[in-house]
Structure 1
Amino acid sequence: MVLYYTLEKRIDGVKYELERRIEGVDRKIKGVREELNGRVEGVKAELGGRISGLKGMVEELRHDVKSLGVAFYNYQNTLIDFLATKGVVSAFEAVLLRGALRILTPVARSRYYTEEVRRRLLELLDKDVESYT
């Protein structure tokens, strides 16, 4: 009986010690998990900010490229008018140049450059040089 009692006490002691160590390991795991979650949330927030910044930069670049295309197109049309007015190219050649420029007319894809604006641009390009006022 004494042997049984002694063994039971030792077993209870070992059991208590194991439970205490397991609880310690659980606390450490919980702490590591919370720290990792905090770091992941920080990385998510930082990446979200960077992605938003990149989206803004891409939109700004897209706008600038569209503006450059419109400006270049208008420059070409003005150059044709200037050359025709100065007599460097004939009216017939100006019509041919306008036809070539017409092919480059961009497709309506925005709320500012609508299909109606595109059609009006094409009408102006097709107009005879002498009929401009």
Structure 2
Amino acid sequence: MTLRRADVEAMLERGHPLQLSGQDLRAADLSGLDLAGADFAYAHLEGASFRYASLVGAVFWAATASGADFTGADLSDANLGTADLSNARLDAAVLKRANLLGSTLTGTSLAGADLHGANTTGATEKGGLPWSKSN
């Protein structure tokens, strides 16, 4: 079952911690929501929108987020390790101290993103080439 914005908002209203590990949120519009600390590990987030959302400390470990839009989102202290972020938009996103260990960044747009203190060890681009903050 694919979850939508209304499903996530209902969880937030009940005050439950967002445990969305492994869930299908493909193409969900979660723009502007406060999703700090949410668990999206192993989730299917292809084409989802997190524009200007608060994702401080959120977990995206091994999530598939190809084509997702994180424009202007606050991902400070988020764990995006081994996530597939290919063709995702992270323009003007705040990634301070974020963990991008081993993530896939092929075609990812990071224009104006704040990567201060981010761990990009093992992050790769097209063909498995190492990615660096200067790319």
TM-score, normalising length from structure 2? Answer: 0.20
Greater Rg over alpha carbons, structure: 1
Higher helix share: 1
**What TM-score, normalized by structure 1, do the two folds share?**
0.21
